[in-house]
Structure 1
């Protein structure tokens, strides 16, 4: 009689999960990035809150009008530390073959008498235009800082530009033609400024800031095509309604104007804004 076969015993051992060597996926990176972003936003808010009102105005002006605001205005590279005066690079001294130290600056600037002569020529041309029916306020003045020509809209409000637009009217080209003829022979730098009235611009995403800069740029392009060298244009500025010609009448069409300021010295361009204000609806 044979031995009874014994049942086969099968031992099942649980499988061990392989360890990932400490790697737990990338979800922590997302959480860390969110934390860093939140901290950066927090410190930015704290920094802005701690600013004085003057610096806040500078930052606001930069973001409202970066094109017309940031060019030429800086005490440093950040707009938060901007001053109100444009940067003027000092001329680099050079030595000629005779050993005399000179400068790479532009040719000597005209004296006051030459600016007065240019102003008189422009005034004569303006008088002729007025006789031809151009109704606008065109002021020409020579100060210690230079020659200022201001073209303000008349009562109709569409003498130089189409209503609410940077598209020029024929009168603007006629005025700039006589101004360009008087200024073409001068080496002075030129600052061009645009101003609007205080009426809000109705189009979303486009304000009086953009309109004032666009109108100043239109005048720049026209002036350079009429004989004024492009390199003479030092700055193009847009002030929107921040420098009203008639503060008591913020929507007066005369607040809508373009100013050409011909500097009498490299340091005088910063005075163009102050000289452009003369104290005396519809979008800009």
Structure 2
């Protein structure tokens, strides 16, 4: 045959393609990463908007959190007034105490009138309160306003508004560890006759405030002292008869401080409710024919000097003679 039979050869070739780009799985991982970063920066932004005291409460809450312990505690401002033990023992600060007082007054006003908290009644009651820091603690002052006294005129009988404010104060301070000192102050308006003076009145009002605190839940063992100062320490010195000079001071001493100062003050004032009599008054009451010797005179002068220095500087508890 002239033509040879051609053999058909079938060649199978496998085409090599470029490496696949892992399809779309990398996009899922990248999206997860971006979402996590967004959540992280959003958390940082939210934390920067929270006040310092609220951040401290949140930190304490999560520091001691456990699934196996009692739950239900909260740190939100609008929630029920529940404080854990480690928050109760936190450092006393005037802003924290003032905020707690405002909330307590709002809750009491809402409970009595059947209204929601924050109706404005607490603002009116807060006008009678001043909270400031003293060495080693915090002082809460309950002051009179023009036409709105805390006690009946010339007596230690508290008004209904005073009872409400002191009940709110007791609610705030009863779970603290701080010792409590109660002071009574009056204005410079004198009494007619010699039956009662501002010394007796200020001491009686301080004792009445102590009784109201204890009846509202304050542990009596935490009361360090109750004393009246009459008109010797005016709040408005330029106007001795200003209503704001009539006030009750409740001083909270930070735990672990002020023990020595308290012991010293108790030595100077025998009895927790006995006001210290000025040296000048004591000298007038001494018999005319009994002149003190030089040593006694020097001792009295030294005591007067110490009293003046303490009144300017204040002691650790914020109490002064």
Please give the range of the TM-score, normalised by the shorter of the 2 chains.
Answer: 0.5 to 0.7
**Aligned residue runs from structure 1 range 38-117, under 5 A:** 110-112=89-91, 117=96
Q: 1:250 to 1:182 in 2, by over 3 A?
A: same
Q: Which digits, 9 at most, give the CA deviation of each residue in 1:83-114, with x for residues without a partner?
A: xxxxxxxxxxxxxxxxxxxxxxxxxx934257
Q: More helix by proportion, 1 or 2?
A: 2
Q: Which ranges in structure 2 are unaligned for 5 or more consecutive residues?
A: 1-87, 110-118, 266-313
In the other structure, the counterpart of 2:120 is 131
CA distance in 1, matches of 2:126, 2:103: 15
Match of 1:38 in 2: none
Alpha-carbon distance, 1:126 to partner: 5.1
- Partner residue, 1:166: 156
Report whether the alignment pairs 1:121 with 2:112: no
Contact 1:173 1:222 in 2 (8 A): yes
Extract unaligned runs of 5+ from structure 1.
1-108, 278-284
Tell me which residue corresponds to 2:142.
151
Aligned to 1:193: 183
Secondary structure of 1:151's counterpart equals: strand
Whether 1:140 and 2:131 are equivalent positions in the alignment is yes
How far off is 1:221 after superposition?
A: 0.3
SS at match of 1:112: coil
Deviation at 1:274, TM superposition (A): 8.2
State which of 172, 175, 183 in structure 1 corresponds to 2:165: 175
After TM superposition, the runs of 4+ consecutive aligned structure 1 residues lying more than 6 A away are 127-130
2:218 is aligned to 228
TM-score normalised to the size of structure 2? 0.47
Residue in structure 2 matching 1:266, options 258, 262, 271: 258
Q: Distance in 2 between matches of 1:169 and 1:246?
A: 23
Give the structure 1 partner of residue 40 of structure 2. Answer: none
Deviation at 1:224, TM superposition (A): 0.2
Cα distance change on mapping 1:249 and 1:126 into 2, 3 Å: farther
Partner Cα separation in structure 1 for residue 103 and residue 189 of structure 2: 34
Aligned pair count reads 168
Helix, strand or coil at the partner of 1:179: helix
Deviation at 1:275, TM superposition (A): 4.3
Question: When the two structures are superposed, what TM-score results if normalisation uses the length of structure 1?
Answer: 0.53
- Shift of residue 144, structure 1, vs aligned partner: 4.1
Contact 2:130 2:140 in 1 (8 A): yes
TM-align CA RMSD: 2.9
Cα 1:207–1:236 shift into 2, 3 Å:
same
Q: Following TM superposition, by how much is the alpha carbon of 1:141 offset from its aligned partner in structure 2, in angstroms?
A: 2.1
Distance 1:135 1:121 in 2: 11
- Higher RCO (C-alpha 8 Å, min separation 6): 1
